[in-house]
């Protein structure tokens, strides 16, 4: 079954992280990515831009209309997400708990109930 694991953050959180610690944090993340790509359980890992880069897209009169986002006024926003393919919920939970930032903040884990493959 496929799952999406999500990490939330905010600019204040990232700004408070000491600059000299970022290389080690990135190295831990890359090691996590490599470990689970090799098992075939990590289908993708995606880090998102800051919320100031987000846009809202609507359709008006058949055309796309973009405005600055994000939609919700919130202190935290989706910072990264991981697409997992695991044999069980328990295995997905183990992998989510192994995400490097899981010892700082919780990771949301959602089952994917429907998939429409892009290559179909």
Q: What is the pLDDT of residue 73?
A: 63
Q: What is the pLDDT of residues 63-112, one digit of tens each?
A: 999 888 666 666 778 889 999 999 999 999 999 999 998 988 899 999 99
Residues 16-74: pLDDT tens digits?
889 999 899 999 999 999 999 999 999 999 998 877 788 888 899 999 998 886 666 66
**Domain of 71, in residue numbers:** 2-111
Q: How many domains does the chain have?
A: 1
Query: Within a domain: residue 38?
Result: yes
- Please say whether the beta carbons of 11 and 50 come within 8 A: yes
Task: Find the CATH number of the domain harbouring 39.
Answer: 3.30.70.1060
d(CA 1, CA 77): 26
Residue 24 Cα to chain centre, angstroms: 19
Which residue, 40, 28, 18, is CA-closest to 91?
40
Residue 96 lies in a domain: yes
> Whole-model pTM?
0.83
Domain presence at residue 28: yes
- Cβ contact 45:80 at 8 Å: yes
């Amino acid at each position: 079954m496929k799952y999406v694991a999500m990490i939330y953050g905010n600019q204040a959180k990232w700004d408070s992280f000491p600059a000299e610690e970022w290389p080690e944090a990135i190295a831990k993340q890359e090691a996590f990515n490599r470990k689970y790509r090799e098992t075939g359980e990590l289908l993708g890992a995606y880090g998102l831009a800051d919320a100031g880069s987000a846009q809202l897209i609507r359709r008006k009169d058949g055309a796309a209309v973009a405005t600055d986002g994000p939609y919700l006024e919130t202190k935290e926003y989706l910072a990264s997400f991981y697409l997992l393919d695991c044999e069980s919920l328990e295995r997905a939970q183990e992998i989510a708990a192994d995400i490097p930032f899981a010892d700082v903040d919780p990771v949301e884990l959602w089952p994917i109930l429907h998939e429409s493959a892009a290559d179909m």
